[in-house]
């Protein structure tokens, strides 16, 4: 059996009604012949969108086939025991050239009941934001279902949404149930559970190229929404720290750090029982491990198998990456 190594996958490009050009102009990823690109799926185990290895001895292999062959060696013993043949995380880049719909995702229990699927908890790292960019995360006041429905019916939903000003390097954690939308001008990386279940609540009455409005999921969303108001929606962290991991998100589904480095940094994963995903959104670096070296540049994501426990991340000038893995169950 071929030895595992840090794996890159072929990008899956998605054109969207709200997509733009930054996937190409900022990340250098050619999405032709699509008219635009709203999302790229960099590592995906979603049915119908299974990632395929791009380079090396395993090139052409589907992620599902890798899991079937390598099991815990790829995923980690506990991850494999909990997730089985389903890869637990989905990694995307998203370019919002217009506001996305206001939407919500169900939690595990509701998604299982309705769709036989996982729920969708996610996080966003905004690495490029235009001037005056905003997004929506949650409500701007304490809410209940009846009040929410009245605003929806009166077309005043935006009045109760919590709008956040957005700048480069902002982070938002969005547990399942939180109403949200990505605002025009955001280019971001998204780490999420493996799920494609979205309830679209409001789409600003826009129409597609054929003059059709998009489907709304008004009733389905009612039992999925968390109506509670929270004091803080944006994740606060030390943006100035370099050459050391800074924690951004920690939940049962994933832990994510950001690393901003201008010198080599050693990473020891002996204490986790999981694969690791690197998402590079600025600069370039190489992953040095016992059996070799893999170069990574802006716009690429890499899956480090669980069997590779010690690496050195060596910069080519400098780099910024997200580092994500599945935490141990308690």
What is the pLDDT at residue 213? 84
pLDDT of 183-198, one tens digit each?
999 999 999 999 999 9
> Is the residue at 236 inside a domain?
no
Pick the closest to residue 175 from 201, 138, 221, 148 (CA basis): 138
pLDDT of 125-156, one tens digit each?
999 999 999 999 999 999 999 999 999 999 99
pLDDT of 164-223, one tens digit each?
999 999 999 999 999 999 999 999 999 999 999 999 999 888 877 788 888 899 999 999
Residue where a domain stops, chosen among 160, 190, 222: 222
Asked if pLDDT for residue 293 goes beyond 90, the answer is yes
Strand 276-289 and strand 301-304: pairing? antiparallel
% of the chain exceeding 70 in pLDDT: 100
Based on the domain organization, do 91 and 190 belong to the same domain?
Answer: yes
262 band by pLDDT with thresholds 50, 70 and 90? very high
Based on the domain organization, do 36 and 169 belong to the same domain?
Answer: yes
> Is the residue at 214 inside a domain?
yes
Q: Which residues pair with 293 in a beta bridge?
A: 288
Give me 49's structure tokens. 């969108």
> Is the residue at 330 inside a domain?
no
What is the pLDDT at residue 204? 86
> Do 319 and 261 contact (CB within 8 A), yes or no?
yes
* Mean residue pLDDT across the chain: 96
What is the pLDDT at residue 107? 96
> Is the residue at 229 inside a domain?
no
Based on the domain organization, do 196 and 279 belong to the same domain?
Answer: no
Based on the domain organization, do 12 and 129 belong to the same domain?
Answer: yes
Can you tell me the mean pLDDT for 235-255?
A: 97
> Is the residue at 216 inside a domain?
yes
Based on the domain organization, do 198 and 307 belong to the same domain?
Answer: no
Number of domains in the chain: 2
Based on the domain organization, do 36 and 156 belong to the same domain?
Answer: yes
Range of the domain at 265: 246-325
What is the CATH number for 155? 2.60.120.10
Q: What is the pTM of this model?
A: 0.95
Based on the domain organization, do 170 and 267 belong to the same domain?
Answer: no
pLDDT of 62-95, one tens digit each?
999 999 999 999 999 999 999 999 999 999 999 9
> Is the residue at 239 inside a domain?
no
Based on the domain organization, do 97 and 153 belong to the same domain?
Answer: yes
Can you tell me the mean pLDDT for 120-128?
A: 97
| Three-class secondary structure assignment of the chain | CCCCCCEEECCEEECCCCCECHHHHCCCCCCCCCCCECEEEEECEECCEECEECCCCCCCCEHHHHHHHHCHHHHCHHHHHHHCCCCCEEEEEEECCCCCCEEECCCHHHHHHHHCCCCCCEEEEEEEECCCCEEEEEECCCCCHHHHHHHHHCCCHHHHEEEEECCCCEEEEECCCCCEECCCCEEEEEEEECCCCCEEEECCCCECCCCCECCCCHHHHHCCCCCCCCCCCECCCCCCCCCCCEEEEECCCCEEEEEEECCCEEEECCCCCCCEEEEEEEEEEEEEECCEEEEEECCCEEEECCCCCEEEEEEEEEEEEEEEECCCCC
> Is the residue at 32 inside a domain?
yes
249 band by pLDDT with thresholds 50, 70 and 90? very high
Based on the domain organization, do 95 and 205 belong to the same domain?
Answer: yes
What is the pLDDT at residue 330? 59
**Which residues are part of the catalytic machinery?**
200
Based on the domain organization, do 86 and 14 belong to the same domain?
Answer: yes
CA pseudo-torsion sign 170, 175, 178, 181: positive
Based on the domain organization, do 65 and 16 belong to the same domain?
Answer: yes
Based on the domain organization, do 41 and 162 belong to the same domain?
Answer: yes
Asked if pLDDT for residue 281 goes beyond 70, the answer is yes
């Amino acid at each position: 059996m071929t030895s595992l190594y840090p794996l890159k996958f072929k990008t899956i490009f998605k054109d969207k009604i709200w997509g733009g050009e930054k996937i190409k102009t900022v990340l250098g990823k050619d999405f032709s012949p699509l008219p635009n690109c709203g999302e790229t799926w960099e590592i995906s185990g979603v049915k119908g969108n299974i990632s395929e290895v791009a380079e090396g001895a395993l090139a052409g292999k589907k992620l599902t086939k890798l899991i079937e062959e390598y099991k815990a060696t790829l995923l980690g013993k506990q991850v494999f025991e909990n997730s089985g043949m389903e890869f637990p995380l989905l990694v995307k880049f998203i370019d919002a050239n217009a506001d996305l719909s206001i939407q919500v995702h169900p939690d595990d229990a509701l998604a299982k009941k309705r769709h036989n699927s996982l729920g969708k908890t996610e996080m966003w790292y905004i690495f490029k934001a235009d001037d005056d960019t905003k997004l929506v995360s949650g409500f701007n006041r304490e809410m209940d279902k009846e009040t929410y429905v009245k605003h929806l019916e009166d077309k005043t939903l935006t009045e109760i949404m919590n709008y956040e000003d957005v700048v480069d390097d902002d982070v938002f954690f969005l547990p399942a149930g939180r109403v949200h939308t990505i605002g025009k001008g955001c280019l971001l990386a998204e780490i999420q559970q493996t799920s494609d279940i979205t309830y679209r609540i409001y789409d600003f009455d826009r129409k597609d190229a054929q003059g059709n409005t998009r489907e709304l999921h008004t009733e389905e969303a009612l039992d999925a929404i968390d109506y509670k108001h929270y004091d803080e929606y944006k994740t606060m962290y030390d943006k100035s720290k370099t050459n050391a991991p800074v924690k951004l998100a920690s939940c049962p589904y994933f832990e994510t750090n950001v690393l901003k480095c201008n010198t080599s940094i050693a990473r020891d994963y002996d204490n986790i029982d999981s694969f690791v995903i690197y998402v590079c959104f600025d600069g370039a670096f190489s992953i040095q491990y016992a059996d070799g070296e893999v170069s990574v540049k802006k716009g690429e994501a890499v899956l480090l198998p669980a069997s590779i426990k010690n690496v050195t991340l060596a910069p080519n000038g400098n780099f910024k990456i997200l580092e994500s893995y599945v935490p141990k169950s308690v």
